[in-house]
Homo-oligomer: A and B are copies of this chain.
Amino acid sequence: MQSMVARAHCRTLGRMSIRSRVPRPAARRLSLYLRELMLRARDGSATISSRQLGDALGLTDAQVRKDLAHFGQFGQPGVGYRCIDLLERLRTIMGVDRPWPCVLVGAGNIGRALLAYRPFVHGGFEIKAVFERSRELVGTTIAGRKVRPIEDLARGVAAVNAEIGIVAVPAEAAPAIAAMLVGVRIRGILNFTPCRLDVPPSIPVRNVDVSVALEQLAFDISSMAAPDES
């Protein structure tokens, strides 16, 4: 019994110090591995090799092995990784093995899309409350959630123990909303505005920016049109 407790403790320490050592691009690839493993596990695959995982995602097997090596030894030579084990380990490392209560600020088009978005319903991320500044939207019901006035944010975040704040307001309102979310001790922000949010470094922000994605695509297409002739 004592050894189980000790092991659990070590595993937690190990997991946490590992997380902060993982480079950001590798962290991003973990999401891709997670998706592929979920598909394989659903299809009944027992094992997967680093080459199979790499092929499915357009990565080399060396890259896959290097990324996964951050988290210890999983693979068996000649066999590969056990899908279920690796999936569970990745879910723990990513922190998605538990619920993440979210609040949404902004009930415009993006907010509505998010409320109807299936990964929220099926995953651990759940929008527990919706806040809006516009008097016309406050009091309406969207996808079963009542839209509340932005003045209720502090009370609402506390009531649902929200950890993630989703910012889906017009760009000019974003700095004020970010400041409010910091004030109510939100732990992280998902930002749908093109505005870069100025928050303390202890509060991570991830941006979903459609205009950046479009520009990058324009860049990619322009590069394709011109094979490197140098």
User: Complex formed: what's the CA distance from A94 to B56 in Å?
Assistant: 29
Q: How many copies does the complex hold?
A: 2
- CB-contact partner of A223 in B19, B57, B189, B216, under 8 A: B19
Chain B residue with minimal CB distance to A100? B218
Cβ B218 vs Cβ A96 within 8 A: yes
Report which of B28, B119, B224, B230 forms a contact with A216, defined as CB distance below 8 A: B28
> Considering the chains assembled together, what is the distance between the CA atoms of A194 and B34 in angstroms?
12
A17 within 8 A of B: yes
Report whether A210 and B114 are in contact in the complex, using a CB–CB cutoff of 8 Å. Answer: yes
A95: interface (CB < 8 Å): yes
**Interchain CB contact under 8 A, B116 and A31:** no
Whether the Cβ atoms of A217 and B119 lie closer than 8 Å is no
In the complex, per-residue mask of A190-224: 1 if CB is within 8 Å of any chain B CB, else 0: 10001010000011101110111111111111111
Q: Which residues of B contact A114 (CB under 8 A)?
A: 210
Q: Give the docked Cα–Cα distance between A121 and B16 (Å).
A: 44
Chain A interface size band reads 35 or more
Whether B119 contacts A214 by the Cβ 8 Å rule is: yes
What residues on B are CB-neighbors of A35 within 8 Å?
Answer: 194, 196
Can you name the residue of chain B whose Cβ is closest to the Cβ of A93? B219
Q: Does A164 contact B (CB under 8 A)?
A: yes
Q: Please report which residues of chain A, range 162-211, place their CB below 8 angstroms from some CB of chain B when the two chains form the complex.
A: 163-164, 187-190, 194, 196, 202-204, 206-208, 210-211
Q: Are A187 and B229 in contact, with the CB atoms below 8 A?
A: no
A2-20 CB contacts (< 8 Å) to partner B:
13, 16-17, 19-20
Pair B94/A218 contact, Cβ less than 8 Å? yes
A16 with B229: CB separation less than 8 A? yes
Partner-contacting stretch, out of A105-113, A131-139, A153-161 = A105-113
Asked if A94 and B219 make an inter-chain contact with CB atoms under 8 angstroms apart, the answer reads: yes
Contact A208 B213 (CB under 8 A): yes
Assess whether A21 is interfacial by the CB under 8 Å rule.
yes
Q: Check if B57 sits within 8 Å of A196, measured CB to CB.
A: yes
Besides the known contacts A57-B196, A109-B109, A110-B117, 5 further A-B residue pairs in the complex with CB atoms under 8 A apart: A13-B229, A16-B225, A25-B25, A27-B219, A206-B217
